[in-house]
Amino acid sequence: MNIGSLITDGFVSVAYPTSLRSHVVHAMESWKTFCGLPAEEKAGLSGGDRIEDFGYMLRQDTGPHADQKELFHLVGKHLPKLYAQAANVADTRAIDFIRAIDVLMKMSAPLIRQFAHSVEHAFGLEGFEQEVMSSQDSWTFRYLHYFGADAEEMLAHAHADRGGFTFHLYESAPGGEYLDFDYVWQPWEVGANKTIIFPGLGLQYRSACQLTALYHRIMSTPETRRNGRYAMVLFVDFESSHRFNKERWPRIQDFDPGFNYDMSFEQFSRYFMPRNVS
């Protein structure tokens, strides 16, 4: 794992373990089946809200930066409730993606640990590996389905992720791009054999801006306009003293792309608040 590429490129490329990839693909087939269920049946697996959300969500926001999609958050601490709700779904194939999380968590953990260990030692973040690995109940597997759209240039508008860091697990079609540190959009190289891990705003704060949350977006393609786009990521959060103030700034898409690039820690820390303050 070339951890130095976090400085030069903003992400780390990792070889995708074959066994993990196989389980991810199986889970995604189940997610696609779930997406085909009636709306009221899917809504029965909703929970939380826009700030503390889990389960099924339908996003139909309006405005210049709206993303039209449905998604599902699976968080360890909420799994018992979701398992109980899933018992009401008649088509068991449609909920295999929920049952898969225990295996996906265990199979992802070694790569996550390796990344956290390397970051801790390369950038002097004492205790970072322990913070990450003791927070597994807060890791979030996000399943995504972007609807096909004829007119939209972008399926997901430019944003950085709010949490610690992101492990990219699956995409059904190309179109993902990242904003390099020269402020030029580049296609990211992910697939069946190679994928990426990149910092979110939380890791930028934890590293006192040694590392930078990577801006990225999803462009529409002829394939996604016809068939939509399915994806999965793992958001890895960790124990920390502060968190991004999402109550004040609920939509990262409203910031200028790369607003956090080349920012001093003094400036950047204004966007954060003590974790236990509401």
Q: Which residues contact 87 (CB under 8 A, 6 or more apart)?
A: none
Residue 118 confidence class, pLDDT cut points 50, 70, 90: very high
Please report the pLDDT score of residue 248 as a whole number.
84
User: Which tens digits make up the pLDDT trace of 248-269?
Assistant: 887 788 889 999 999 999 999 9
Please report the pLDDT score of residue 62 as a whole number.
61
Residue closest to 34 by CA, chosen among 45, 24, 25: 45
Domains of the chain: 5-270 (2.60.120.330)
Please report the pLDDT score of residue 54 as a whole number.
82
For residue 175, report the phi and psi dihedrals to the nearest 5 degrees. 130, -10
Residue 61 has pLDDT above 70, yes or no: no
User: Which tens digits make up the pLDDT trace of 193-232?
Assistant: 999 999 999 999 999 999 999 999 999 999 999 899 999 9
How is the beta sheet containing 46-48 ordered, strand by strand?
A: 12-15, 194-199, 165-171, 229-236, 140-146, 68-75, 53-60, 46-48
Token pair for 154:
């972008």
Higher pLDDT: 245 or 128? It is 128
Identity of the residue numbered 215:
Y
Residue 66 has pLDDT above 90, yes or no: no
Residue 50 has pLDDT above 60, yes or no: no
Count the neighbouring beta carbons within 10 Å of the beta carbon of residue 39. Answer: 10
Q: Could you give the CA distance from residue 54 to residue 231 in angstroms, rounded to a whole number?
A: 17
Higher pLDDT: 65 or 18? It is 18
Please report the pLDDT score of residue 49 as a whole number.
54
Please report the pLDDT score of residue 242 as a whole number.
83
Please report the pLDDT score of residue 236 as a whole number.
97
Please report the pLDDT score of residue 101 as a whole number.
92
Please report the pLDDT score of residue 105 as a whole number.
95
For residue 65, report the phi and psi dihedrals to the nearest 5 degrees. -115, 25
Please report the pLDDT score of residue 151 as a whole number.
58
Residue 166 has pLDDT above 90, yes or no: yes
